[in-house]
A = this chain, B = another copy of it.
Amino acid sequence: MSDDGRFAYSGLDRVLHEKARLGILTALVTQPDGLSFTDLARLCTLTDGNLSRHLDVLAEEGLVKVTKTFAGRRPLTTCALTAAGRRRFRAYIAELEQVVRDAAAADAAATEAPTPLPRPGLAGA
């Protein structure tokens, strides 16, 4: 049938879809110059260990760049989205918008017009 895979959402890239990483990327997309590790952990409510682990995954995929410098005498770790990261994040968000549209439309239709549908599966089973 023509609606095969209609709800497969293959664009929901698992690297970006993971909840903590989705928060990290959304925080970073606001900041072309990046965010400090400390601020990022706070904004996303992540422990240092968890944030490190997720940044490793994102850096290995080339989505973020982690830079270690100094602010005065203090070490400063800065995290920023790469150009490739921004592109992949945009594509992911476009697919997420599709999910939201599908869900909202379907839910509205089901709520407003609870007409009995043909019993499912009789043709396909």
Contact = CB atoms under 8 A, between A and B. Distances in A.
Interface of A: 1, 3-10, 12, 14, 17, 19, 22-27, 29-39, 42-46, 71, 74, 76, 78, 86, 89-90, 93, 96-97, 99-100, 102-104, 106-107, 109-110, 114, 116-117, 119-122, 124-125
B45 A4 contact: yes
A124 B98 CA distance: 37
B36 A121 contact: yes
B4 A120 contact: no
A99 B22 contact: yes
Contact of A120 (B31, B45, B100): B31
29 contacts: A4-B42, A4-B45, A5-B43, A5-B45, A7-B24, A7-B26, A7-B44, A8-B45, A9-B23, A9-B26, A10-B45, A17-B17, A29-B106, A29-B110, A30-B106, A31-B120, A33-B120, A35-B120, A36-B124, A36-B125, A38-B121, A39-B120, A74-B125, A76-B122, A76-B125, A78-B120, A90-B107, A93-B104, A93-B107
- The count of identical subunits is 2
B97 A100 contact: yes
Contacts of A31: 110, 117, 120
